[in-house]
Structure 1
Amino acid sequence: MTAFGSVFMPEMAAARFNGTSWSPAEIVSGERIELHPGAHVLQYASTCFEGLKAFKHADGSVKIFRMDRNVARLAQSTELLGMPAIDKPAVTQMILDIVGRFASQVPEPPGSMYIRPSHIGTEAAIGKAAASTATSLLYVMLSPVGDYFAGNDKTLRLLLDDEGMRCAPHMGTVKCGGNYASALLAIQRAKATVQADQVLFCPGGDVQETGAANFLLIDGNEVITKALDQSFLHGVTRDSILTLARDMGFDVQERELSVDELLERATKPGCEAALSGTAAVLAPVGTLLYNGHEYSVGDGLAGKTTKRFRQALNDIQWGRAEDTHGWLTAVEVKA
């Protein structure tokens, strides 16, 4: 089986900032990019990215989900990293153009086309450890993907870490490779020592996020997740799920959640927990590991509310339900 996100379209959209202005976007080979070994991105990690999806509907049309939010977040990450500001309308058009070019390759449901815009610093200047890159490259590549769950609802095992943190607190809202890299060692150790799938970072007992997804606790009619601040990533899927939950009449609480409250609630019958992200939408959590003990979330199986939320969002994405929030953008198919 091909690993999720490991197949790419042969071309991508790209534009360069020369220190003064952005070049017109071009469709170029998606096989490689050329960089000087001293490029700012390689030396000082000036890079950020986004992840969003395009979906094929029953009528043959292709729609991109919440592109405006992802482009806005890319602009925010760019600003917080001190990189050359992006032109949001131009980036939006780049996404539309490259997806339109490969619209015929967008998989049928339950598949989709994963879209990865990336912005990297290209200036060759190893003396700029304390200065921003003057030049940069922005490119948009595509990866056709299948169903993340592939027919099963296997629940995840999460190790609660109340000492470490996923990333520097002031960098949490930046979607950059460094934030993912800083969590990898903790995740690898958790997998090797307690067979955990992910680490749920809870610095000082404050439940935040895992290495690659936001966390939600579902207790009856209550949906509880950390309130937005600069310490963690503001997920587009998280926002979408919470919006749909409110539409369904759930009591959505964005607030502090302690490890103690989490463990007290999670072990109750009927309680559910899930991780939200672009790839899986909602991944059910069945076990929490803390201080050498295992705690089953509810009955340890994928919960009915988690499935309901995931199905509701998928139905909008694939055009099976009305898009009442205006989340879908139509793609013009390119010849």
Structure 2
Amino acid sequence: MTYEIIKELTTTKKDKTPDHQLGFGKRFTDHMFSMDYEEGKGWHNAKITEYKPIELSPAATVLHYGQAVFEGLKAYATEAGEILLFRPDQNFKRLNRSNERLCIPAIDEEFALYALKELLQIDRDWVPTSEGTSLYIRPFIIATEPYLGVSPAKNYKFMIIMSPVGSYYAEGINPIKILVEQHYVRAVAGGTGEAKAGGNYASSLKGSELANAQGYAQTLWLDGKEHQYVEEVGSMNIFFKIAGKVITPALNGSILAGITRDSMINVLKSKNIPVEERKIAFLEIVEAANNGTLEEVFGTGTAAVISPVGYLKWSDGAIDVNNGQIGEVTQMLYDTLTGIQYGKLEDTFGWTIKL
């Protein structure tokens, strides 16, 4: 199917925040993309317009039953002035997997990428150029049908908005402190944990709030059934380097299939560093710390890229990881991935797309 994008551009440009004052997700570019879905008509009415509030019925299904999915990716400015996207095709593939789980109609992935490129061309001067900055891109779909019955909606809106950002954590690339959550659970196999659904993040807020109140940057979630196996961190997948081998929880139906996670695994394999995806009990991490074989811990995600973990706390104890310093493998992964994303290193994996 072919679509036409109607362009209604603003004549009043917003002032841009200086790169050194950028936070995360608080400022937005001049324009946004939107597209509507109606049962029997399909996806239509593709537009790039001024970034502005949208009109939504108080009875919209998304407000009552949470039919909403989203993605997160970034655009990067190279030293040569080019703009690079990092694996955007994988984001739209994952968006459709989330759509399927929440009974939302699939989007045309090729058209979605085309629409994103068109939006980026219009707002390309919003891509920040200072080291460590990028343009965060948020595609999302919400159910808009004004109906209070519990069933899949018949109307949806697909949108893409963009925000210039600095570091996700105040700590930057410095090691963060994580609290192991031992009461609440994030997701269970068979639920929506492997989908990038808004409700997953709403259910994680309580654990994050409690962790933040105690001075921790994130929560480490354990499995929802036995409450003893490591799953993921609030906004990241998690990796442990034990006795020279990097281990990450296997995708089990309740863990998000992170694109950065997959990228890191590929980089590790290319460097001949042993990497294993499997079920891992938190007690195994404690034992590794006690016998001196726990060497590094780090989280991965689009927003933060990679975050070394320097301290893990749970009810019965705590672990200082690598004396609170960033590990050698963690640093290598950060340098490699950001080097590819910003065009400083050759992309031997074929991950980047030049605008």
Q: Which residue of 1 aligns with 2:10?
A: none
Alignment partner of 1:313 is 2:337 = yes
Q: Which residue of 1 aligns with 2:60?
A: 39
Q: Which residue of 1 aligns with 2:348?
A: 324
Contact 1:266/1:273 (<8 A) preserved:
no
1:14-25 equivalent positions in 2, closer than 5 A = 14-19=34-39, 20-25=41-46
Deviation (angstroms), 1:292: 3.6
Q: Which residue of 1 aligns with 2:232?
A: 209
Candidates 67, 88, 93, aligned match of 2:88: 67
Deviation (angstroms), 1:151: 7.9
2:203 maps to a residue whose letter is: S
Counterpart CA distance in 2 for 1:300 and 1:270 is 13
Counterpart CA distance in 2 for 1:300 and 1:122 is 47
Question: Once the two structures are superposed, what CA deviation does each residue of 1:103-138 show, in whole Å capped at 9, x if it has no partner?
Answer: 122111421111100101000001x22x10101000
Counterpart CA distance in 1 for 2:303 and 2:81 is 22
Deviation (angstroms), 1:59: 2.0
Alignment partner of 1:122 is 2:144 = yes
Q: Which residue of 1 aligns with 2:135?
A: 113
1:130-279 equivalent positions in 2, closer than 5 A = 131-148=151-168, 152-169=172-189, 170-192=191-213, 194-203=214-223, 204-266=227-289, 268=292, 271-279=295-303
Alignment partner of 1:29 is 2:50 = yes
Deviation (angstroms), 1:31: 1.8
Structure 2 residue runs of 5 or longer lacking an equivalent are 1-20
Question: Once the two structures are superposed, what CA deviation does each residue of 1:64-97 show, in whole Å capped at 9, x if it has no partner?
Answer: 1000110000011011100122121221111111
Candidates 79, 87, 93, aligned match of 1:58: 79
Counterpart CA distance in 1 for 2:323 and 2:293 is 7
Secondary structure in structure 1 of the residue aligned to 2:216: coil
Counterpart CA distance in 1 for 2:313 and 2:166 is 30
Contact 2:243/2:293 (<8 A) preserved:
no
- Alignment CA distance shift 1:327-1:261 (3 Å): same
Deviation (angstroms), 1:323: 0.9
Question: Once the two structures are superposed, what CA deviation does each residue of 1:265-298 show, in whole Å capped at 9, x if it has no partner?
Answer: 2452771101111111111111111224221112
Deviation (angstroms), 1:228: 1.4
Secondary structure in structure 1 of the residue aligned to 2:76: strand
Identity of aligned residues (%): 34
Counterpart CA distance in 2 for 1:149 and 1:279 is 9
Deviation (angstroms), 1:308: 1.2
- Alignment CA distance shift 1:271-1:50 (3 Å): same
Counterpart CA distance in 1 for 2:36 and 2:234 is 30
Deviation (angstroms), 1:167: 2.3
Counterpart CA distance in 1 for 2:87 and 2:93 is 10
Counterpart CA distance in 2 for 1:8 and 1:69 is 23
Contact 2:22/2:165 (<8 A) preserved:
no
Deviation (angstroms), 1:43: 1.1
- Alignment CA distance shift 1:2-1:147 (3 Å): closer
Secondary structure in structure 2 of the residue aligned to 1:286: strand
1:290-301 equivalent positions in 2, closer than 5 A = 290-301=314-325
Counterpart CA distance in 2 for 1:304 and 1:31 is 45
Deviation (angstroms), 1:25: 1.6
Deviation (angstroms), 1:304: 2.2
Contact 1:63/1:329 (<8 A) preserved:
yes
- Alignment CA distance shift 1:139-1:81 (3 Å): same
Alignment partner of 1:79 is 2:103 = no
Counterpart CA distance in 2 for 1:218 and 1:102 is 41
- Calculate the aligned-residue CA RMSD, in Å: 1.7
Candidates 10, 29, 32, aligned match of 2:30: 10
1:324 maps to a residue whose letter is: T
Deviation (angstroms), 1:162: 4.1
Contact 2:75/2:85 (<8 A) preserved:
yes
Q: What's the TM-score once normalised by structure 2's chain length? A: 0.88
Contact 1:13/1:98 (<8 A) preserved:
yes
Contact 2:32/2:51 (<8 A) preserved:
yes
Secondary structure in structure 2 of the residue aligned to 1:246: helix
Contact 2:188/2:253 (<8 A) preserved:
no
